[in-house]
Amino acid sequence: MDSSVTSTDTTVSAFVPAPASPYQGDIARYWDQEARPVNLRLGDVDGLYHHHYGIGDVDLAALGDSGDAAYDKRLVAELHRLESAQAEVLLDHLGTIGRDDLLVDAGCGRGGSMVMAHQRFGCSVEGLTLSAKQADFGNRRAHELGIEDRVHSRVCNMLDMPFETGQAAGSWNNESSMYVDLEDLFAEHSRVLRVGGRYVTITGCWNPRYGQPSKWVSQINAHFECNIHSRREYLRAMADNRLVPQAVIDLTPDTLPYWELRATSSLVTGIEEAFINSYKDGSFQYVLIAADRV
């Protein structure tokens, strides 16, 4: 992958709306300033830039011997493969999407999942992020791929989406729902989705069976300036907003191999222990919820 995508990250969106709250201003700044090598090096593998985590078994044969010079490169490629596999599973749950349909990526990051959705369905994909840097990055990448007329990112609050009622065939949050109130979020997804449309989220949530957010969950919140919700809050807020779960899948066992591999790499960020320990002590879960808009 040509690294110019990362090195030319300097353009500024023409219009950046004022943040809806001081908190959203902080989150916009957070993502404008984010440049962790773990995200850029993985994205450089094939030009799909993700800000989410991975699922699936590690391919030990592809990883090979940790002693040889190219091991680091293979490790990066393997972590990236698992992150793209996560996005594929999210897309699997959107149901049937046609070329004329619109999909909405709420909290789109640098747009990796949007590109994958367009490549799979041929549809239009609109992404919303608080970060002008991320929107510019995603739009530049779409332009390089020649899909800028079908894949577009903008700076916009996902609680106030610029779409007509019932305009979207599908919408999702991929690790972005921990920044907003869930009642407000699902009310807005419910509004923009057509009846019969599909909403999908992959998220980390605290487990009501544990009791309250554990110290590890609190550590993850502090690390990302986010506010992780409980599994119960997701289901309740969906029920309140005409979103009826069609699948609720506990992906915790599927994401642990990614974290255990990442913890051995030179790209660690310091948050690996909190994810591994909270997944193992049962206080935190990685879940996919797919819901029908009824």
Ligand X SMILES: CC(C)=CCC/C(C)=C/COP(=O)(O)OP(=O)(O)O
Residues at the site binding Mg ion, with contacts judged by CB under 5 A:
39
The single-letter code of the amino acid at 118 is H
Kindly indicate which of the ranges 32-40, 122-130, 135-143, 180-188 contains the residues binding ligand X, using the contact rule CB under 6 A: 32-40
Q: Does 52 bind ligand SAM (CB under 6 A)?
A: yes
Q: Does 224 bind ligand X (CB under 6 A)?
A: yes
Of residues 55, 103, 123, 128, which one binds ligand SAM by CB under 6 A? 128
Nearer to ligand SAM, 78 or 175 (CB): 175
Which parts of 119-158 interact with ligand X (CB under 6 A)?
A: none
Kindly indicate which of the ranges 9-17, 63-71, 188-196, 224-232 contains the residues binding ligand X, using the contact rule CB under 6 A: 224-232
Q: Does 289 bind ligand X (CB under 6 A)?
A: no
Angle between helices 252-262 and 272-281 (to 10 degrees): 150
| Phi, psi torsion values for 266, nearest 5 degrees | -80, -5
Minimum CB separation of residue 115 from ligand X in Å reads 16
The H-assigned helical ranges of the chain are 4-7, 22-33, 37-43, 60-63, 71-92, 112-121, 132-145, 182-192, 215-224, 231-240, 252-262, 272-281
Nearer to ligand X, 114 or 220 (CB): 220
DSSP secondary structure string for all residues of 206-271: E-TTT-S--HHHHHHHHHHT--PPBHHHHHHHHHHTTEEEEEEEE-HHHHHHHHHHHTTSTT--S-
Q: Answer with the entry of ligand SAM, Mg ion, ligand X, none that 157 interacts with (C-beta below 5 to 8 A by kind).
A: ligand SAM
Rounded distance between C-alpha atoms, residue 52 and residue 39, angstroms: 9
Q: Does 114 bind ligand SAM (CB under 6 A)?
A: no
Q: Does 179 bind ligand SAM (CB under 6 A)?
A: yes
Q: Does 170 bind ligand SAM (CB under 6 A)?
A: no
Of residues 131, 171, 207, 252, which one binds ligand SAM by CB under 6 A? 131
CA distances from 49 to 77, 126, 192 (A): 13, 16, 26
Q: Does 269 bind ligand X (CB under 6 A)?
A: yes
